[in-house]
Amino acid sequence: MTLARSLLSLIASLFLASAFAQGYPNRPIKVVVPWPPGQATDLAARIVSESVAAAIGQQLVIDNRAGAGGTIGSEFAARATPDGYTILAGSSGPISIGPLLQKLPYDSARDFEPIALMVSTPYVLVVHPSFPANTASEFIALVRNNPGKYNFASSGTGATAHLVAELFNRAAGLNAVHVPYKGSAPAITDLIAGHVTYAFETAAATAPHVKAGRLKAFAVSSAGRALALPDVPPLAEAANLPGFDMRAWIGFIAPTGTPREARARLAAEVQRALESPATRAKLVAAGLEPGDLTPDQFAEYLKVQSERFASVIKAANIKVQ
């Protein structure tokens, strides 16, 4: 009797899963973006959602819920009904880094399940054009030989830009003073004005200034070259830092408990969108690098990223006041 019931239960669950997969989605899907319109996560979500919506015949409605470094919208998504009709445009800050620095009203590992990586974005080591070095190696030698003399800007303590810079400083043996700002824009403004020595900021944010001659770029933080700055070498090559690869990520994730069939359908459609030349062109134009990971690879990527960010935070003793 127990075996018969188990078999019936299994058959019923398989039937329901099949029925769900065939009928999903049958209404619009809410995409929570925990940042304001125009920010990188918002741009990626809108570009990819437009393509996915056309493929599935249902709208993906962008719901901007900005505030508290992305944690307000992320908490809202974590508490949403896990039925496949509310997903989060997650990113490094509120998902991989925030929980390592402070107690948040959600647990990234417990409350979310991955769907698909949309994009990643490398960071660029930039200085004022007048800085007396022409290569990453020359820059490192000068800063290393003058401990405490130079400083570096970031978009805020514990931000991805800050962690990339700290990882680089430790790998290169540099001793420099951290100057945190409230966002990338003021940090870049002061760098252009010559008030700070160097910074790591996204390719999207720095490429226009590099091309206009307002900033000098030495290297990018990714393993390969950035699509937005193809002439700038990676740190692994330019600074002789083998294996250096640190980027911000943006992807769709779902509240834990969301049916596997819903996540699989969305993952497949996101992958098709990222293979579309038109979608890829829009993402690259925004300074974003289209992702190419399977759902399983994305899950492993998130785990590795969290471990790497955690090691940087511990080594640099980074604390958020």
Distance CA 40, CA 23 (A): 32
In this prediction, residue 22 carries a pLDDT of 63
- Which domains, and CATH codes, for the chain? 2-120+248-316 (3.40.190.150), 122-238 (3.40.190.10)
pLDDT at 256: 97
Residue 60 is inside which H or E element, if any? strand 60-64
CA distance 236 to 133: 18
User: Strand 60-64 and strand 247-255: pairing?
Assistant: unpaired
Q: In this predicted model, what pLDDT tens digit does every residue of 70-120 receive, in sequence order?
A: 999 999 999 999 999 999 999 999 999 999 999 999 999 999 999 999 999
Distance CA 96, CA 98 (A): 6
The CA-CA-CA angle for residues 72, 77, 80, to 5°, reads: 130
Q: Which residues lie closer than 8 Å to 317 by C-beta, 6 or more apart?
A: none
Which residues are within 8 A (CB) of 208 and not within 5 positions of it... i.e. 6 or more apart?
A: none
DSSP character at residue 229: B
CB distance 119 to 250 below 8 Å? yes
Provide the pLDDT for residue 103.
93
The ranges of the chain with pLDDT < 70 are 1-22, 321
CB atoms within 10 A of CB 257: 10
pTM value? 0.85
Joined together, the tokens standing for residue 251 give 């992807």
In the chain, DSSP finds a helix count (H) and a strand count (E) of 13, 10
For residue 200, the model assigns a pLDDT of 97
Write b or e for each residue in 199-234: b if 16 or more Cβ atoms lie within 10 A of its Cβ, otherwise e: bbbbbbbbbebbeeebbbbbbbbbeebbbbbeebbb
Per-residue pLDDT, 20: 55
**Cα-based distances in Å from 212 to 16, 114, 216, 292, 297:** 57, 38, 10, 31, 37
Closest of 131, 287, 284, 150 to residue 214, by C-alpha:
131
Q: What is the pLDDT of residue 204?
A: 86
